[in-house]
């Protein structure tokens, strides 16, 4: 089945620790996105990538880093510089070959502080 | 002013009624509009997309777009308890003609359909 796989489903971070959230897609989509969702709020864009080896900061990139070495994979690292990392993290992807394509989401990773 | 704003809710309707969810946006150049449904603890799933002025129907769902008024809405007919969820309006931003598929989301409207 084609889709977007995020892992792990739940993640706990200790003080001062970097953690990496995985996002893999087999939809052959060029564009991938990372969002953060806090309780009762909409989605805020952290980073996005349109092609391999290229990515752009979103609205709240501070304290996060990404890489895009393969088309299928767009991992997100939450660094120790992110002081309030507790949130629901969502990865999305989108086809670029046609205009007006929607984004489709993975199941998300819930990150908490230990 | 928020870029994408939804009616604050929460919205509660009886089973079988029409639920009306509204969204306004500030970027006049926006071209694509999406409604996502998000159940508690789950990720958003796409339920409707609309690109042209007017109505678009899909089963019990109707999306309405008015670009002159910068307004998009979602109507759910014959509401069911299973429709109870948060509904997110998303707008495809147009930043100088190169939008990179970036979506701007509203804060969501919580809908509860009671039996």
Residue B102 CB coordination number (10 Å):
21
Average pLDDT, 10 consecutive residues per value, chain A (114 residues)? 90 91 95 93 92 93 97 96 93 81 94 89
A102 in contact with B, Cβ within 8 Å? yes
pLDDT band at B114 (very low <50, low <70, confident <90, very high): very high
- Range with the poorest average pLDDT among A45-49, B4-8, B21-25: B4-8
Q: Give the minimum alpha-carbon distance from B14 to chain A in angstroms, rounded to a whole number.
A: 23
Peptide bond connecting B26 to the previous residue in cis, omega within 30 degrees of 0: no
Nearest chain B residue to A46, by CA: B102
| CA–CA distance, A46 with A27 (Å, rounded to integer) | 21
- Range with the poorest average pLDDT among A56-70, B45-59, B61-75, B82-96: B82-96
CA dihedral A51, B51, B70, B4 (to 10 degrees): -40
Q: Do B105 and A103 touch (CB under 8 A)?
A: no
Measured between beta carbons, which residues in chain A are less than 8 angstroms from residue B92? 100
Query: Phi and psi at residue A48, in whole multiples of 5°?
Result: -145, 160
B83 SS3 class: helix
Tell me which residue has tokens 């953690």. Answer: A19
| CA–CA distance, A57 with A46 (Å, rounded to integer) | 6
What integer is the mean pLDDT of B58-73? 96
Nearest chain B residue to A95, by CA: B101
pLDDT at res. B38: 96
Q: Give the minimum alpha-carbon distance from A56 to chain B in angstroms, rounded to a whole number.
A: 10
Measured between beta carbons, which residues in chain A are less than 8 angstroms from residue B45? 105
Beta-carbon pairs below 8 A across chains A and B: 58
Q: Do A43 and B88 touch (CB under 8 A)?
A: yes
What integer is the mean pLDDT of B26-34? 89
| CA–CA distance, A31 with B105 (Å, rounded to integer) | 18
| CA–CA distance, A23 with A7 (Å, rounded to integer) | 7
pLDDT at res. B7: 85
A34 in contact with B, Cβ within 8 Å? no
Query: Phi and psi at residue B99, in whole multiples of 5°?
Result: -90, -15
Q: Do B51 and A100 touch (CB under 8 A)?
A: yes
Which residues are paired to A54 by β-bridges? A51
- Range with the poorest average pLDDT among A94-103, B8-17, B82-91: A94-103
Taking alpha carbons only, the member of A101, A109, A77, A90 closest to residue A29 is A101
CA distances from A85 to A14, A89, B57, B74, B79 (A): 11, 10, 39, 33, 36
Give first-to-last CA distance, chain B, whole Å: 37
A4 SS3 class: strand
Average pLDDT over chain B reads 91
B46 in contact with A, Cβ within 8 Å? yes
Measured between beta carbons, which residues in chain B are less than 8 angstroms from residue A105? 43-45
Nearest chain A residue to B87, by CA: A42
B9 pLDDT more than 90: no
């Amino acid at each position: 089945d084609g889709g977007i796989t995020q892992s792990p489903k739940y993640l706990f971070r200790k003080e001062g620790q970097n953690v990496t959230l995985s996002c893999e897609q087999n939809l052959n989509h060029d564009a991938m996105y990372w969002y953060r969702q806090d309780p009762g709020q909409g989605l805020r864009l952290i980073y996005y990538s349109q092609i391999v080896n290229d990515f752009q900061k979103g609205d709240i990139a501070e304290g996060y880093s990404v890489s895009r070495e393969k088309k299928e994979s767009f991992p997100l690292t939450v660094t120790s510089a992110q002081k309030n990392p507790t949130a629901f993290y969502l990865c999305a992807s989108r086809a670029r070959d046609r205009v007006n394509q929607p984004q489709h989401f993975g199941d998300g990773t819930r990150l908490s502080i230990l | 002013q928020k870029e994408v704003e939804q009616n604050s809710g929460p919205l509660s309707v009886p089973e079988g009624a029409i639920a009306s969810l509204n969204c306004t946006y500030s970027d006049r150049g926006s071209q694509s509009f999406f409604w996502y449904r998000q159940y508690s603890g789950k990720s958003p799933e796409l339920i409707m997309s609309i690109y042209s002025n007017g109505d678009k129907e899909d089963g019990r769902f109707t999306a309405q777009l008015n670009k002159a008024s910068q307004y998009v809405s979602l109507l759910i007919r014959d509401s069911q308890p299973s429709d109870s969820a948060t509904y997110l309006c998303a707008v495809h931003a147009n930043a100088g003609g190169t939008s990179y598929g970036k979506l701007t989301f509203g804060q969501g409207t919580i809908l509860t359909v009671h039996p």
